[in-house]
Chains A and B, each alone.
Chain A
Amino acid sequence: MSQSTGQFGATSLKSSPLKSPRISPAFFAWLLVAPALLFILVIVAWPLLETFRLSFTNARLGGESYVGLENYEKLLEKRKFHQTIYRTFYWMFLSVSLKLILGLIGASLLNAAVPGKALFRVLVMPPWVIPIAIGCIGWLWLYNGYFGILSGTAQWLGLIDGPFEFLAHKKSAFYSAVVTDVWVGTPMVTLFFLAAMQGVSRDLYEAAWVDGAGRWYRFRRITIPQIMPVIVSMMLLSAIWTFNSFEVIWILTEGGPRSASTTLIIDTYKTAIGNYKFGEGAARAVIIVILLSIFSLIYLFFLNKVNKIYGSK
């Protein structure tokens, strides 16, 4: 075995392109990177450029022609579109905040020395493990005013007089979608936080305990600072996923009623795929890319600050 390995090693060294006078090390490096680069160009760059190009056309089922900035001008003039942008950020802010808060609480509980915590760790997984579509269909039933358990329980408790359709009213439809999105997204945040908490040195807690620090003080001054880089990372990832969250809203409300739960991604889908206005849909997609890029830059700025303060590399 060792002999053959040695032979192979000798052969490959002799014929290595690095040794060949005709191929420079830099070119060889590019050769190695080329497949991945090609893959990214085809899968990411080309669709992005094509979307950008389409956004300057009136592309529809029957063909396309160049319209310059018309699609963008139309969007900027539309009050509905401004409302959609505002709603998208509000949706993102609410959902991400709740996921982070619940994730932090959940991770702290799962990290605590309580009996049966292994079972709780398993029980926290289903919302994440169940396919989103299946979970959302379950929530559809829960929110149903006549056959759903939420309205039924509220009536039984005397909180409401008759059935209440959670998805039929503008505000309740929006907040119901937020609740479901939080249900779907919280387990992952919880598990990331839990992993980070388990990496915090026990010595820090013991030293603080010896100095008389209480639970809350230790959580505030040890746990949170130690896992801060993970919190910030999760904040960005969760924000991007929530910003682009499609399935939950689509299955529950399709963006309704009267656009009350329409976010940018739903609006883009309805325009481009639902109404076959590919050009106008592409303009919306470009705006999403721009908004998320700005958001990511702000995040990177803060991440650097956090890393400087808390010493993470």
Chain B
Amino acid sequence: MKNLKTLTLTAALALGASGPLYAEKLHFIMCGGEIRDADQSVVDAFEAKHDGVSVNIEAIPWGTCQDKSLTLAAAGDPPSVAYMGSRTLRQLANNNLIVPAEISQDTISAYQPGILNTVTVKGTRWGYPRAFSTKALFINCDLAEAAGAECKAPKTWDDMYALAKAINDNTDAAGVGIAGKDFDNTMHQFLNYLYSNGGVVIDPQTGENKLDSSNTRETLAFYKKLVSVAQEGPTAWERSQLKDLYNDGKIGMYIDGPWGRGQHKEGMNEITVPVPAGPNGDNGTILITDSIAVFKGSGHEEFAHELAGMLTTGQSQYALDTEWGLTPIFDYEKLGFDAPYYKGDAYWQVFVNGIGAGGPEPLVEDFKSLQSVFTNMIQGVILDDDTVDNLVTIAGEELDEAL
């Protein structure tokens, strides 16, 4: 009996010791600072499918997340997968830190137009698109009406300015909220206006820098005009903070993604409308995606591809889009969804209709420098540091250097 006990104990110890030898642990960096239910449930299913394989999800806030992923990869200790802004893909790919995505043909054909361009560099897809957004203008109708204006969609920049000025002059609130902090969404917000004025940053065919243009000058000049009816000190605010001012009735309108409605006060009297058209364009929006990148050299690329695939297909993608209120990344009807959440909903149509007319987030090697070029130009006009002409000329030159 004693021998049997010893044998059993030895066997148990041996099994226990051998477990970790065969175990695989995937490191999943999740930018955004929280683990979403839609992601966690897929990870749980993945772990259940693969005995001995576990996934360590590390949620990191946006401000530092992409730097951490890049630094880890450059230092030779890459994460297995990372959910990050697609703008980082070019830099990661050019430095041989990630491997191309393996997206199935069925999935490819179901993506909304323009989505795959956000992860494609020289014909190769480097990420699995996971989250997608377009932008629209939210207007607080209580403030508009209190200012004696009609609460309706401004068609042009002039209409928008007139409404913002009315709110600014006739209520305690500022007319419009502008993001001007040294942060990526300062550039994103500007691009919404630039694309609504027919502007281009980089020529998609030639890769040429097209920032220094009359469209950019007009857009920056409009920004200057908006600043006069905007909240105090836009350079201290980034987009996600503007919703607090909006909820408190301190700004009359601002641009945000489709998740905005869920973050606003319940029962708020508001309308959501396309970004008004500039003098040389039509209603536009920036198309932004976040993607899942599979890193090179983690030792579990196969598992990482499988996990990325599971996260970004069919039901799991639909779960994320609905849970987080994101612009649909797929044309879900093509995937067999009969009545997707956006179908026939006027709110969602504003965001879905913008997809076709949207412009991409420029995919460059050095995205931090790109961001810095835009922030410098925008802050320059907000702080009245220089003329619109000079600021755009300088930005064009700086972008040449960054490219």
Contact = CB atoms under 8 A, between A and B. Distances in A.
B235 A256 contact: yes
Contact of A275 (B94, B180, B181, B366): B366
> Interface centre among B67, B233, B366, B372, by most A CB within 10 Å?
B233
A257 interface: yes
B369 interface: yes
Interface size class of B (residues with CB under 8 A): 20 to 34
Contact of B379 (A147, A162, A256): A256
A145 B233 contact: yes
Nearest to A62: B95
Interface stretch (A22-30, A164-172, A207-215): A164-172
A61 B379 contact: no
Give 10 closest A-B pairs by Cβ, nearest first: A168-B233, A165-B233, A168-B236, A257-B235, A62-B95, A61-B95, A165-B236, A168-B235, A256-B182, A163-B232
Given A256-B181, A276-B70, A61 B91 contact: yes
Interface string B94-125: 11110000000000000000000000000000
Interface string B164-190: 000000000000000011100000000
B234 interface: yes
A217 B176 CA distance: 59
A254 interface: yes
A97 B369 CA distance: 36
A251 to B, nearest CB: 11
B13 interface: no
19 contacts: A61-B74, A61-B91, A146-B248, A162-B232, A163-B232, A165-B235, A168-B234, A168-B237, A169-B383, A254-B182, A256-B375, A257-B182, A257-B236, A273-B71, A274-B368, A275-B368, A276-B74, A276-B91, A276-B366
Contacts of B235: 165, 168-169, 256-258
Interface in A226-249: none
B59 interface: no
Contacts of A274: 67, 368
A61 B369 contact: no
Contacts of A145: 232-233, 236
Contacts of B91: 61, 276
A275 B398 CA distance: 14
A274 B71 CA distance: 10
Interface residues of A, number: 24
A60 B366 CA distance: 11
Interface of A: 60-62, 144-147, 162-165, 167-170, 254-258, 273-276
B380 interface: yes
Contacts of A276: 70, 74, 91, 366, 368
B245 interface: yes
Interface string B368-394: 110010011001101101000000000
A14 B217 CA distance: 87
Given A256-B181, A258-B380, A169 B233 contact: yes
B91 to A, nearest CB: 7
> Interface centre among B94, B181, B235, B250, by most A CB within 10 Å?
B235
A62 B74 CA distance: 8
A257 B74 contact: no
Given A62-B94, A165-B236, A274-B368, A258 B385 contact: yes
A170 to B, nearest CB: 6
Contacts of A258: 235, 376, 379-380, 383, 385
A274 B244 CA distance: 28
B3 to A, nearest CB: 48
B356 to A, nearest CB: 34
A17 B281 CA distance: 87
A170 B182 contact: no
Given A146-B245, A256-B182, A164 B232 contact: yes
Contacts of B250: 146
A254 B233 CA distance: 16
Contacts of A167: 233, 236
B383 to A, nearest CB: 6
